[in-house]
Amino acid sequence: MKYNGNILLNQEIAPNIFKMIIQCAPVAQNAKVGQFVNVYTKDKALLLPRPISLCQFTNDTITLLYTVVGTGTKEFSTYTTADTIKISKTLGKGFAPQNVKTHVIVGGGIGIAPLLALAEELSAQNTNIIAVLGYKDHQYLVDEFKSICNEVYVSTDKATSGFTGNVVDLIKMKHISGDYFYACGPKPMLKALSTHCTQKNIPVQVSMEERMGCGYGACVGCNCKVNNKNQKVCKDGPVFLGSEVNWQ
């Protein structure tokens, strides 16, 4: 089923990174941290929807962050508040917030987006939250994380500001630790972080970024191996325990 949403904001917050706020109460009211929605283009030649993770949500709005990388997202970037947009219900199994003393949130690139809603939910527990955010160059959402988290660390691939390198190297250098890790980002980052957490005997939930077709588990286009079994990222995930993923 598709829902019509009203666009309240569609703003470029960094080069080729857009923030879109959509008013659609039926979708927003069922949202959970770590889920995603399928976003449909108006171009009928583009058959497949674009899966985009929820960055934030309220009772009647959802906020999406997306990178302009192709024809579909290029179309989205042209939308204004005069436009409506078709989206699916919220999909997938998201993060399962744990009741622990210190949470560590690790994000890379556009994978940082769904971790903001997670940080907001964890903040209600009145516990310690540490965020480690990795960017290629331009930064975004850092102030939002600083307003929620007890500590925020930032790394960039290019020497723009702060630590230069990847988030796992930053975690090791700063001896960042906690009772539970949550992560979303490129597969190499998730693999390296899962290895690090396994060595430290710390559990980690990872949100997998795989190419998807349908978003409902019908096309089996987003399979990954978990505990030596094929799992559909869109339906069984996108969040899995890092220790259970068979990293290739």
80-93 tens-digit pLDDT = 999 999 999 999 99
Inter-residue contact 121 to 57 (CB < 8 Å): no
Inter-residue contact 204 to 127 (CB < 8 Å): no
In the structure, what pLDDT confidence band is assigned to residue 214 with cuts at 50, 70 and 90?
very low
Residue 13 dihedral angles phi and psi, to the nearest 5°:
-100, -10
What stretch(es) of the chain map to CATH 2.40.30.10?
A: 3-87
| pLDDT at 177 (0 to 100) | 97
Tell whether the model's pLDDT for residue 60 goes beyond 60.
yes
Best CA proximity match to 181, nearest among 142, 220, 132, 214: 132
Fold that domain 3-87 belongs to in CATH: Elongation Factor Tu (Ef-tu); domain 3 (2.40.30)
| pLDDT at 158 (0 to 100) | 78
Pairing label, strands 229-232, 223-226: antiparallel
SS3 labels along the chain: CCEEEEEEEEEEEECCEEEEEEECHHHHCCCCCCCEEEEECCCCCCCCCEEEEEEEECCCEEEEEEECCCHHHHHHHCCCCCCEEEECCCECECCCCCCCCEEEEEEEHHHHHHHHHHHHHHHCCCCEEEEEEEECCCCCCHHHHHCCCCEEEEEECCCCCCEECCHHHHHHHHCCCCCEEEEECCHHHHHHHHHHHHHHCCCEEEECCCCCCCCCCCCCCCEEEECCEEEECCCCCEEEEHHHECCC
Lookup: tokens for 80: 């204004």
Fold that domain 102-244 belongs to in CATH: Rossmann fold (3.40.50)
Inter-residue contact 246 to 229 (CB < 8 Å): no
pTM: predicted TM-score of the whole model, two decimal places: 0.92
Tokens 């927003």 belong to: 28
What stretch(es) of the chain map to CATH 3.40.50.80?
A: 102-244
106-165 tens-digit pLDDT = 999 999 999 999 999 999 988 999 999 999 989 999 999 999 999 999 999 877 667 888
Pairing label, strands 128-135, 102-108: parallel
